[in-house]
Amino acid sequence: MPLDLDAIYVDLHRHPELSFQEHRTAGVISEHLTALGIPHETGVGRTGVVATLENGDGPVIWLRADTDGLPVPEQTGLDYASTARGVDPAGVDVPVMHACGHDMHITALLGALERLWTERGGWAGTIVALFQPAEEFGAGARAMLDDGLLDRFPRPEVVLGQHVTSTLPAGRLGARPGTQMAAAEGLTVTLHGRGGHGSRPHETIDPVVLAAATVMRLQTIVARETSAQDIAVVTVGSIHAGLKHNIIPAEATLELSLRYTTDDQRERLLSQVHRIVNAEAAASGVEVPPTFDGVFTLPPTINDEAATERVMGAFRAAFGEHDVVDPGLFTGSEDVSWFARDAGVPLVYWFWGGVDPEAYAAAVAAGTLGRDIPANHSPFYAPVMHPTIERGVDALVVAARAWLG
């Protein structure tokens, strides 16, 4: 019986799971792969699933989809909206939503595997399908590789992947050779003050005031220390300090996200962050210097030029010139490139649109695209099911066939 991709998508959307907690999701993937008769292994990199389609002599390609959700309360109003909850790494109960479209990624890859397996008389080679956990945590690809991915499964000649996006209308595809997505650094900074009573601030070193000053000064890295010709982002995404209104806490914690495109930029940004944080701490008279803990490092997502043209050429032939574009460089980041880097092979990573074409066109005409079209990671984000599912399946099949004949 053919897969009901609509039902699969709705089920996955209703039941998102946080990074490295994708146990139900992995079970759903395994169930459908079993129904298709496709050999696979579960538990790769903790909660990853790897399927292998061997079909005679030919190239080995890897197709990748990520599987985790985000700690976001869904506000789409859809009748299949998520009401799921989970426990984050800090032990906090949080709402969970597929706010980045990974449910669509899984659905498209399952649909593509079904099509390719059914049509295996028309191609030769081996497809390794990676259902990767914990992309949002920046650790899933590394976990699968550290679990022996390259030794346990056929090594690739190319790694292919895709991401649904709010920046393109449904039906359109986009990729560019070279840097497609920025690198990212996750950094936790702990500011050490001296706590005390809220009525006697003169006896304390207030880390909340220190945190506020630090956040504001960090913004000058991009605004005043980065060339307008360079791409850099410094975001403080989280501040934690204190538990009660009349207690000055002893510590404040800042969680930073840095984005850049080159190794030189990485070193410069880290140096600037350290300089500013330490200087603000010194200005506040701290007795214990700030501490810096790296959470993750993601390299830039760099598309191989020749391989990208091969895939984009296949897309243009299949879908027409109008629906294949250069989407520009994205300052978001991905861990997919670890697969290609560790294997020493080309990467091609493209985007496919998930926005209702009429709504997209209206927002573009009004100049309100950023306001009217919810972006990935928004509580209002949800790609339209059609033709997003169909184009996601088709794109993977066409890209695979570009390598497998």
Residue ranges for the known binding site are 100, 102, 136, 163
Binding residues for Mn(2+): 100, 102, 136, 163
> Is there a contact between 258 and 270 (Cβ–Cβ < 8 Å)?
yes
Q: Is the dihedral of CA 332, 335, 336, 340 positive or negative?
A: positive
Three-class DSSP category at 191: strand
> Is there a contact between 325 and 353 (Cβ–Cβ < 8 Å)?
no
> Is there a contact between 137 and 323 (Cβ–Cβ < 8 Å)?
no
Residue 216, φ and ψ in degrees, nearest 5 = -65, -40
Nearest-angstrom CA–CA distance, 34 and 19: 24
> Is there a contact between 190 and 242 (Cβ–Cβ < 8 Å)?
no
- CA atoms within a 13 Å half-sphere pointing along the CA-CB vector of 80: 17
B/e letters for 65-98, b = 16+ CB within 10 Å, e = fewer, are bbbbbbbbebbbeeeebbebebeeeeeeebbbbb
Three-class DSSP category at 6: helix
Furthest C-alpha separation in the chain = 79
Q: Which two tokens stand for residue 276?
A: 């500013």
Q: Is the dihedral of CA 151, 154, 158, 160 positive or negative?
A: negative
Q: Which two tokens stand for residue 138?
A: 């920046």
Three-class DSSP category at 88: coil
> Is there a contact between 207 and 357 (Cβ–Cβ < 8 Å)?
no
> Is there a contact between 302 and 180 (Cβ–Cβ < 8 Å)?
yes
